[in-house]
Amino acid sequence: MLRGFYNSASAMVANQRYQETLTNNISNANTPGYKQDQGVKRAFPEMLIKESGRLQLPVKSGLSLPQDRGIGSMHTGMYLQETVPSFTQGRLRETGTATDVALLQKGAPDETGFTFFNVRNEDGETRYTRNGNFTVDGEGFLTTNKGNYVLNAEGNPVQTGGMEFTVRNDGTVEIDGEEEPLGITYTPDASQFIKEGGDLFRAGEDAVTEEARGKEDMEFEVRQGMLERSNVDAQATMTEMMSNYRSFELNQRVLRAYDQNLQSAVTEIGRVQ
């Protein structure tokens, strides 16, 4: 009976964590460049159930040997192993703002490959983002809406000097006749990128990062005056939230039933007549 408690309780914890993931996706449905998280559920190892018995040997002495007969297996619960971002291209929407730029990936040499803008966080470390909702700070540097410097291909902050600049489709920024390419990174396996706060990703220990320009079979465009929408399907996510909530309620009922049975076993079955 206690095993039933553990199974139901572990499922409820997994449902709760998954609900938090779905809620976070919904809350970021309008965040430019946001990549929704997907929950990966796993079951605990199954337990093999056996029946213990004895094998009677065909001898006059009636000798028998211990024998276990397999009955089947039993699940021992589930858990939410991890949440991983879904790196798919979001749709573009036009804003008409010069500092808004969208990264449109049209082709990649690897199925799991993805491209990112290069930025510098407040600690001076390189990070990556798909949110092209940029602005120009008081010193004329191009920054994210969180104040992180947007980097060029050489890893230096891009200085536009103001709002009068042009971004070509290849990601080159034109400022008063001068050209400065935006830093755009390609990784062949985007699952190795780890989410941080402020729409940023950092490269994990096993991540490979490359300059996207000039890479064979790499096709991308940078669109000025546009933003990439999040890849959250709000309707599908709401449906998944309702399904997950019903699963939580079901496990809650099972847990309550086990509790009532255990209470009966303690207060009634053991009662002396």
Q: Which two tokens stand for residue 202?
A: 């950092």
- How high is the pLDDT of residue 197? 83
Report pLDDT for 71.
60
> Cβ contacts of residue 203 below 8 Å, gap of 6+?
128, 187, 192, 193, 194, 209
Per the CB < 8 A criterion, the answer to whether 37 and 86 are in contact is yes
Q: What is the residue extent of each domain of the chain? A: 1-86, 89-228
pLDDT value, residue 57: 54
Phi, psi torsion values for 26, nearest 5 degrees: -60, -40
pTM, 2 dp = 0.80
Residues of the chain with pLDDT under 50: none
Residues 6+ apart with CB under 8 A from 243: none
Q: pLDDT for 253-272, tens place per residue?
A: 888 887 787 777 777 765 65
